Chains A and B, each alone.
Chain A
């Protein structure tokens, strides 16, 4: 138990569906992240939020839409995805991105997405 909870753990969707991934952290952190891990590829950073403000969008297609309503919750809204978007989507949180020492990231277990 890392203090970062992701739901659902598994999701199967068609290319025309709209779904959302949810992440919740109970660690009092103020930075949250979405990473994508495709089969046999390194983790790719997608989005970073610091104090609810998006600070990084790593050239992610617009069919992925993040939302951070508060420092404890992060969503990834999905629409009109492609089969190549099938992957493990990982959420992480950390202390705020400020100060002298970057805090370690705490990851959730991930949401495994399959796009048919």
Chain B
């Protein structure tokens, strides 16, 4: 699976949009971009994933550049409960016996939402 690069930390004001960048310049054509977050002392929580097109769900939006070398997770109206470590992960779409589509987590971005 391709590696990702994220800023180690960022602050965001409550009620504002939080834009979290991720670089994945070595991504392959069959790899998805996944985002998870981990609130302190809890297990990671799935947020959203995409392949080529932008995606939106009730939690966030995912914007993937046309060359797929980077993406941005957007939390439209950040709340204090969005304070967490956010992980950007790329994952092969069709697992083989040598690559069972496992998630490899990096260090992520520590997002702190302030009042």
Contacts and interface: CB of A to CB of B under 8 A. Distances in A.
Interface residues of B, number: 25
Given A43-B105, A97-B95, A107 B44 contact: yes
A2 B46 CA distance: 10
A101 interface: yes
Contacts of B13: none
Interface residues of A, number: 29
Interface string B12-23: 000000000000
Contact of B101 (A43, A102, A112): A102
Interface of B: 32, 34, 36, 41-46, 49, 91-95, 97, 100-108
15 contacts: A33-B102, A45-B103, A48-B100, A55-B100, A56-B100, A90-B43, A97-B101, A102-B93, A104-B34, A105-B36, A107-B44, A110-B41, A110-B42, A110-B43, A112-B41
